[in-house]
Structure formats: structure tokens, C-alpha cells
Chain A
Amino acid sequence: MSERTSEMLMFRVGSRVFACDVQDVRRIGSPLEVPPEDLLEETPLGRPFSQERGLVVLDASGELERTVVVDHVLGVSSIPEDHVQPLPPFAAACMTSGAVAGFVLLDDSPTLLVDLPTLVSEHVAPPRSPEERP
């Protein structure tokens, strides 16, 4: 019996590894090729050390393209769907950013699952408080 999986792009910002839905990334490029005003260098994920790669992402409206600067792209992993978990309700209610969508359990260790379109949207417009989020 085949197990349903999700394709996740794994990347590193600073010393931390994050995951995102591979379909949220339009392409991977070099930050050097992008106008500075289109770069997201410092985000709630942290500040990249080496800034070697950029994940080109559309915001949640699908109209605005920005490049999220990361240190390394580690590759794409097929993650069984039961290894993907939402944020615990208390954590979701306390966080100031909606860009963390949940967790990918790798070796039983939670890796943050990032909603890149929301990350870009929050960079353009300040995030709403948890009570205001839909």
C-alpha cells in the first residue's frame, strides 16, 4: 500500500533547518541577481549568515514576487502526510507571525514548516494578531 506524501523543500537559515511546500517556490536563484528592494533578508526565520540562495516566492495574493534569502537549499524530501502536523493551538495563538504553518516530523524531531507566501505577505503588510487571523 502506497503512503501519501508531500514534497517539501528543505532549506537552512542561520543554524536552523526549515521546510516549505515545494510548490510555493517558483524558482531558486542567487540573491545577487535580484534588486535589493525585492529581497527578504531578515524575516521571523532569522537572518541568513552567508545568503547564498534565494527562494523566489509569490505572496498570498499571487501578485507580488519576492526573493526570500536563505543560506543553503538542502533539497527536496518526500514527507509522509502523517509526519506533517499543524501548530499546537496554544502556540498558534501566541505567535506574532502566521508564517509558521506547522511542523514536519523528521526522525521524530519537529522541523518548522514555513508558509512562504504568508511570509512574503507579512513582509509587505504587518501581520495581524492571532485573534484577527481568519
Chain B
Amino acid sequence: MRIFTTWSPAKGTTYTTDLPGHPSTAIIADRMAEPKELQPEAPGGKAGAGRGGGPAAEAWFFCLRLLGGRYAFEAPLVTEVVRLGPLTRLPASPAFLPGVFTHRGEVLPVLDIAQLVGQGSVPIRASTRAALVHCGPWKVAVVSDAVEGLVAIPRRALEPPLAESAGVAEFLSAIGRDPTGTIAILDLPRLVETARARAVPAGSTPA
């Protein structure tokens, strides 16, 4: 299989494959394009970003390394990958929001998933890379130990996650596999919304 890359102001960067009869396409919204809405779930799969509808269709995800494993979320949510500059820490903010940084003159909040799920924290250095994501009204930079980038997983290879509700398992929508190994698929919009909801217990006082 080969992957072709094209770009247009309307669609951003478009990745297409040459699989005969089953064109599989994922769109990574460039910063010039509007953020894309989540794709509807594929039949029988909780994290179906696959296009084409056939049994060989692939779902495209954006893969990060964190919590000692490989995690991914739907590729269209990602607009850019950046290196964090100096971080400005925020007072009266939860631990999963370690601060903000500027990127092309815009102040962006940083989300540490490890802190959110209570499994340590991602070390933040000047070289730390983050994926800028749009989840509904929220634009956040998800920090990680390393960025792998786009991965394509055959939809049929997506399996439901284990029925656990603790830690990061609470936010998994599927488990996938590629030639490198296992990938845990995160429901990132739900994770971000849960983070926001957990941030301020009612009646709390500032830290």
C-alpha cells in the first residue's frame, strides 16, 4: 500500500491510499482549515474513523507514547504537532493543566493526560512535543513522551476495550493493533470534557 499526500485550503492535508476498490482517506485539518467534526461511528465499532465502508477500510488515528504505552485518538482532531516553549504555570488550576504556552502568538493550554488519570505526569521540557487538538469548543495541547504520528488500523482489527473503569481505561474506546504492536484508542472528546467537569468541585476554594 502506498500513501499519497495532498493539500488544499478547504480540506487541509489529505492522505489517500491506493488500495484498489477501497480508497481509505483521512484528513488532518491544517491550521488554515476549520476543525473537523468527529466522524460517525462505524457499524460494530466504537472508534470507527474508517472511510470507504468496506471490510478492508482502515481507521486513521494519531498515536502518542505516554503512560509507558501507545495511545491514539481520531486523527481529524489533531491540527498540529508542536514543541512546547517555556510553560507559564497557572495559579488555582488542576494538576492536569500544568500551564500555558504561546504558539504563533496564541496562548494555548496544556493537558497532561497522565495527571488526569492519576498515573504520574509527563515530564515537561523545552523539547516536549504536544499535539494540538480541537475537541468541540476546547483547543488544547496534549503532551506526550513521544509522538509517533498517523497510524492506520484496519477497522476489523479494532476490538472493544477491557471492561475497566479506573485510570485511563475509563477513556478507552477501542484496542487496535498495527505492525508495531498494540494501541489503546482514547475517546479524546470525552476525556477532555471529563477533565473540564472534574476541574472544579462545587464550592471549592482556590488553591
Contacts and interface: CB of A to CB of B under 8 A. Distances in A.
A91 B90 contact: yes
Contact of B206 (A91, A93, A111, A122): A122
Interface in B153-207: 192, 195-196, 199-207
Interface residues on chain B, size class: 20 to 34
Contacts of A129: 200-204
A74 interface: no
Contact of B102 (A89, A93, A108): A108
Interface string B89-108: 01111100100111001111
B88 A90 contact: no
Interface string A34-74: 00000000011110000000000000000000000000000
Overall SS of chain A's interface: mixed
A126 interface: yes
Contact of B196 (A87, A93, A100): A93
B118 interface: no
Interface residues on chain A, size class: 20 to 34
B86 A109 contact: yes
A91 B195 contact: no
Given A90-B138, A105-B105, A96 B90 contact: no
A97 B91 CA distance: 8
B205 A90 contact: no
A88 B109 contact: yes
A116 B111 CA distance: 27
Nearest to A88: B109
A55 B206 CA distance: 20
B107 A88 contact: yes
A29 interface: no
A100 B94 CA distance: 14
B113 interface: no
Contacts of B100: 88, 91, 103, 110
A94 B203 contact: no
A100 B90 CA distance: 8
Contact of B204 (A87, A89, A91, A96): A96
B101 A110 contact: yes
Given A44-B206, A96-B200, A127-B206, A105 B90 contact: no
Contacts of A131: 200
Nearest to A131: B200
A120 interface: no
B87 to A, nearest CB: 9
Interface of B: 86, 88, 90-94, 97, 100-102, 105-109, 111, 137-140, 192, 195-196, 199-207
24 contacts: A43-B206, A44-B91, A44-B92, A44-B206, A45-B91, A88-B139, A89-B139, A90-B97, A90-B109, A90-B140, A91-B90, A93-B196, A93-B199, A94-B94, A95-B199, A97-B91, A97-B92, A97-B206, A99-B92, A105-B102, A108-B102, A110-B100, A126-B203, A131-B200
The 5 A-B residue pairs with the shortest CB-CB distance in the complex, in nearest-first order: A94-B199, A97-B92, A44-B92, A44-B91, A91-B109
